[in-house]
Amino acid sequence: MPAPAATPSTTQSPAVLLASITSELDKLSPRFDVSADSIEIIRSPTEFYETLKAKISKAQRRVYLSTLYIGKTEHELIDTIRKALKSNPELKVSILTDALRGTREAPGPSCASLLASLIRDFGPERVEVRMYHTPNLTGIRKAILPKRINEGWGLQHMKLYGVDDEIIMSGANLSDDYFTNRQDRYHVFKSMDITDYFYRVYRTTCDLSYRVLPSDQEASGFVLDWPSQNVQPAPLSDPKGYIASATKVLQPLVTSFPKAAVSEKHGDTHVYPLLQLTPLLKPDTSTELPALTGILRKLGTPEFAGSKWMFTAGYFNMTAEVRQLLLASKPASATVVAASPWANGFYGSKGVSGLLPAAYTHLSRRFLDAVAQAGLSNRIAVKEWRKGTVNTPGGWTYHAKGIWITLPGQQNPSISLVGSSNYTKRSYSLDLEANTMIVTSNPDLQRRLGEEEKWLQQYATTVTRDDYAKTERRVGLHVRIAMWIVTLVGGAL
């Protein structure tokens, strides 16, 4: 039986509804009040790459880049950094990646060996390269797990691209596909306060990470070193002690809001930095999951009846809690956009990872079943994004993630979440994530967020339960077994 139609509230104005959301977010996170035109929304991978290079080329004081990895052949990006360092003796560059991903190909060419060349050329005083190593993968487990799989135990996943007083928040990594044919999201925040806040998060994470140093003695061309100035002890020598020390230095950044981190300007647009640092916080005081679930719960209240939303993730594997809250919101209309199997970055991969596109299909089908059981099939649509086929000429992959919320009676979103999180069990238990929640009453920014919603659906097609019943979409027993094995041994899709 269909759910009763949602009717927009007649008693609450959009301003009152937004205020009820910001009052909750203010309890969780620092808030930065900015002008709407200080947020720029980039559309394409190419534009993201050109913007990043242009900003680095003109950098005056600092460049800090946090990413999962930099592609081992990204010589153009490295040359851009090199030229900026040569032209400006005052410039300092710091790069943070993940140790497991960044050294995977060693002793062959790797992210670590590529970045070590910058240190060799300009010295550790001007170029710093750090690599975070999860405390969840140590000892025998680290020794026996294949490199392709070991990333399932936790990664440095924050995407923070800071240059002087501006920062690009994204889900994109720094490699050729993310610069050419992998669709993501990219928001530029032209705000010294926001850029400084994320720099403090970045700097603290660097002090919890290994330092890369060039080495002529090692075949790989680099060594990983734990500096004495770092937070002690190292994760591989004493994981529990490391987590305790990490909690002490990170918790103040997450849970307390010093004046330096809170803007005193009053604008029509608020930006909340949200962090998910679960593997490094005990007790866990991360803010992204509480913020997301808190807003979704509000959508299910009578005051927000008639709201609309769009949710997207490159890998369709939202947590059970997020899934239930999306369904419980009973929206006037809503869209979930996920990558088609033919636009999934794991399509055609060898081994267990090659089974992942089919696993995500299985999860999408289960979600559609839940939509039908809730009587919401006429209001919640699932779309698959596909532009060609991965690894063929003109084929793209889809990696965008986020949520857009449009309040009752409004045409465009006034709330959007952008950043690195995939909203999965892994995001909320194993990886380091950084995001921003935008809350705005500015009509122009609302319009631009609405345009972003639309262009991300340009290559998205609605799928039905009948589509998933077709032979080529059926998920075999081997995929279900692979999902079970990954979960059993402690990883998460």
Residue 58: HSE in the Cβ half-sphere, 13 Å Cα cutoff? 7
By the 8 A CB rule, do 52 and 458 touch?
no
Active site residue 157: yes
Residue of 55, 157, 270, 330 with catalytic role? 157
Partners of residue 21 on adjacent β-strands: none
Q: At residue 27, what are phi and psi to the nearest 5 degrees?
A: -80, -15
The strand order across the sheet containing 308-313 reads 32-34, 269-276, 433-440, 415-419, 402-406, 308-313, 333-339, 380-385, 460-463
Radius of gyration for the alpha carbons in the chain, expressed in angstroms and rounded = 22
| Tokens read off for 3 | 């759910």
Which listed residue (55, 72, 159, 362) is catalytic? 159
- CA distances for 425 relative to 152, 278, 289, 317, 318, angstroms: 11, 11, 11, 8, 7
What does the block give as tokens for 175?
A: 């490699």
Extract the runs of DSSP E, i.e. beta strands, from 178-263.
182-183, 186-189, 210-214, 222-225
Determine the Cα angle at 146 with ends 140 and 147, to 5°. Answer: 105
DSSP secondary structure letters along 355-380: GHHHHHHHHHHHHHHHHHHTT-TTTE
Residue 159 falls in the annotated catalytic set: yes
Clarify whether 164 is annotated catalytic: yes
Candidates 26, 164, 207, 284; catalytic one = 164
CB contact set of 4 (below 8 Å; sequence gap of 6+): none
Active site residues: 157, 159, 164
